[in-house]
Amino acid sequence: MYDVIVVGARCAGSPLAMLLARQGHRVLVVDRASFPSDAVSTHYIHQAGLLRLQDWGLLDEVIAAKTPALRKMHYSYRGIDLNGFAEPVSGIDAVYCPRRTVLDEILVNAARRAGAEVIEGFTVSDLVFSEGRVTGIRGREGDGTEQEFRASVVVGADGFHSTVAKKVSAELYNVRPAAGFIYYSYYSGLDWGLHHKTGFNEQWFGTWPTNDDVSMLAVICTRRQLKEFRQDVETRFQAVFDDVSPEMGAQLRDQGRREEDFKPMRSPDNYYRRSYGPGWALVGDAGYHKDPYTGWGITDAFLHGELLADRLHQGLTGERPMDEALADYNKARDEESAGVYDFTTTLGELTELPPFFEATMSAMSTTQEWTDKMLGLIGGVVEDHEIYSPDALERLYNDADVPEDKRIYDPTA
Ligand SMILES: Cc1cc2nc3c(=O)[nH]c(=O)nc-3n(C[C@H](O)[C@H](O)[C@H](O)COP(=O)(O)OP(=O)(O)OC[C@H]3O[C@@H](n4cnc5c(N)ncnc54)[C@H](O)[C@@H]3O)c2cc1C
């Protein structure tokens, strides 16, 4: 009998298992994958996520894997440019984009080192119920015979097609339709650094140096462009760079060499799922998913893995009733993620910015101090009120010499 069984051992599941095991709880984590292995995902980690890795003692492992340190960000949204870097917090003066083959293995090994039992290649097919509570999992390792494991709580960290969510019929809420699709691959021959650029024709590209001396290049377009894109991916991929930044488009054509096949993903709709119930909880994409445009999925998986570990610990030690602790986890997760969810689903449309965002981002782009503050907000290390409180907005508009009639204070405008 385990205290907690975690289904899924990547960004959400392994940190959760590690944190619980470090507190002395008996934890089993299973994944149908074995590690190292890839996941369909680009790999950008915001400063807020890196802070978690640093606190857990794992950031040095990411750096030791020769993951390039990125100390300048080039953001651009329909002609508004933000070039700089957020003020370092707790010594984090760079961001990183480790391949998932690197990151996920570090995470699963950390869970194992902490004392969690890990079974790779194990597929969960069903949950065990007893008197209305989830009390375990059922599944098999490879082609082996079916096995059952029991626990006080089963956590689904099994991604957006979550089997755990399906088996407990976790309802969806705050669903917003997906705006786009993404294609990405890895290129040599380009020395670009970190770019995140949205053009005027509902097209975006991102570039990030990653492990093995290659850069990951990704494009996102809105769904209405999907049919045409699929017909000739190589040409359409290049055309997005040409359209958004002709200069970088020329460099890609002349110097870039694609090293791997393209990976496509049509984004599922953005959603929250009810993430707790009797004997079960959900974390990571299983419970909450949004467009990859802002690259917040990994960081959120870390933050919410830690939040859930804390509430599970309270329940397991009897500090408060488990059901109350899990309800509180769900509430806190929703409150903490609301800003990122709104920002992601709004900007992920790749269309005109709402007037408030247009006014404030344009103003911020005029000074380095405000640019870096905005990059800190995007990275999760500057709080909303540092930019959007009435006093801060007044200072921003004054610093940028914005005429009175162009100043917008209402975030819903
Ligand atoms: C194209 C794309 C680009 C992205 N880019 C970024 C980015 O740059 N930065 C960022 O922060 N986020 C990004 N994201 C989001 C990020 O990938 C996810 O938010 C993150 O991987 C969620 O982690 P997770 O652990 O919840 O789920 P996952 O990483 O999906 O892991 C789920 C695990 O559960 C296992 N599993 C599933 N079902 C079962 C089962 N029945 N039995 C056993 N095991 C099971 C799977 O094998 C898998 O290992 C991107 C996503 C996509 C799709």
Residues with CB under 6 A from ligand 1: 7-13, 30-33, 39-44, 123-124, 157-159, 163, 182, 265, 284-286, 292, 295-299, 301
- Retrieve residue 193's tokens: 């650094």
- Residue 39 CA to ligand 1 center (angstroms) comes to 7
DSSP letter for each residue of 47-60: HHHHHHHHHTT-HH
Percent of the chain residues topping a pLDDT of 70? 100
Q: Which atom of ligand 1 is found nearest the CA of 13?
A: 25
Give, in order, the Cα–Cα distances in Å from 299 to each of 289, 306, 347, 357, 369.
Answer: 12, 11, 18, 23, 25
Domain match, 16 and 109 both:
yes
Q: What is the pLDDT of residues 325-380, one digit of tens each?
A: 999 999 999 999 999 999 999 999 999 999 999 999 999 999 999 999 999 999 99
Cα of 40 vs centre of ligand 1, distance in Å, is: 7
- 184: exposed, middle or buried (Cβ count in 10 Å: 0-12, 13-18, 19+): buried
pLDDT recorded at residue 262: 98
| Domain boundary, last residue among 245, 266, 287 | 266
Q: Is residue 71 part of a domain?
A: no
Among protein residues, the one with the nearest Cα to ligand 1's atom 2 is 41
Per-residue model confidence as pLDDT tens digits over 142-199: 999 999 999 999 999 999 999 999 999 999 999 999 999 999 999 999 999 999 999 9
Residue 233 and residue 141 share a domain: no
137 & 163 share domain: yes
Report if residue 72 sits inside a domain. no
Q: Is residue 90 part of a domain?
A: no
Average pLDDT over residues 24-35: 98
* C-alpha to C-alpha distance for 338 and 55, rounded to whole angstroms: 24
State residue 337's pLDDT score. 96
pLDDT, residue 412, reads 84
- Say if residue 273 is in the same domain as residue 262: no
Domain assignment of residue 81, yes or no: no
**Helical residues (DSSP H) of 348-412, grouped into ranges:** 355-364, 368-378, 385-388, 390-399
Cα–Cα nearest to 51, from 340, 377, 302 = 302
Q: Of 238, 266, 294, which residue is a domain's last?
A: 266
Q: What angle do CA 95, 98, 103 make, to 5 degrees?
A: 120
Ligand 1 atom closest to the Cα of residue 160 is 30
Distance 402 CA to ligand 1 centre (A): 42
For residue 145, the domain's CATH number is 3.50.50.60
> Same structural domain for residues 202 and 221?
yes
Domain shared by 330 and 376, yes or no? no
Name the 3-class secondary structure at 201: coil
* Mean predicted confidence (pLDDT) in 314-329: 98
Domain boundary among 207, 236, 266: 266
Q: Which residues contact 177 (CB under 8 A, 6 or more apart)?
A: 269, 270
Cβ 7 vs Cβ 163: under 8 Å: yes
Please tell me whether residues 384 and 330 are part of one structural domain. Answer: no
Identify residue 314 by its one-letter amino acid code. Q
- With bands split at pLDDT 50, 70 and 90, how would you rate the model's confidence at 267? confident
Distance (Å, whole) CA 98 – CA 41:
11
Q: Cα of 301 to ligand 1 centre, how many Å?
A: 9
Rounded Cα distance between 4 and 202, Å, is 44
Contact call for residues 396 and 387 (beta carbons, < 8 A) = yes
C-alpha 361/C-alpha 110 separation (Å) is 39
Three-class SS state of 115: coil
Q: Are residues 277 and 389 in the same domain?
A: no
Q: Atom of ligand 1 at shortest distance to CA of 163? A: 41
pLDDT at 413: 80
Q: How far is the CA of 34 from the centre of ligand 1 (A)?
A: 14
Number of domains in the chain: 3
Average pLDDT, the chain: 97
Nearest CA to ligand 1 atom 28: 159
Q: Are residues 333 and 368 in the same domain?
A: no
Q: Do 192 and 250 share a domain, yes or no?
A: yes
Query: Which residue range(s) make up the domain with 112?
Result: 2-43+99-175+269-344
Write down the pLDDT at residue 223.
93
10 CA to centre of ligand 1 in angstroms: 7
Residue at 91 is within a domain: no
Question: Which CATH number do you get for residue 204?
Answer: 3.30.9.100
Query: How much is the average pLDDT of 223-228?
Result: 94
Specify if 12 maps to a domain. yes
Round to whole Å and give the CA distance between 47 and 88: 9
Residue 124 and residue 195 share a domain: no
Q: For residues 75, 77, 78 and 84, what is the CA-based torsion angle, rounded to 10 degrees?
A: -30
Q: Which DSSP helix (H) or strand (E) runs through 136? A: strand 133-141
Ligand 1 pocket, mutate which of 158, 183, 196, 337 (most atoms under 8 A from CB):
158
pLDDT score, position 263: 97
- Asked if the structure places residue 382 within a domain, the reply is yes
| Mean pLDDT of the region 43-53 | 97
Pair 273, 385 in one domain: no
* Cα-to-centroid distance, 147 and ligand 1 (Å): 25
Q: Tens of pLDDT along 237-262?
A: 999 999 999 999 999 999 999 999 99
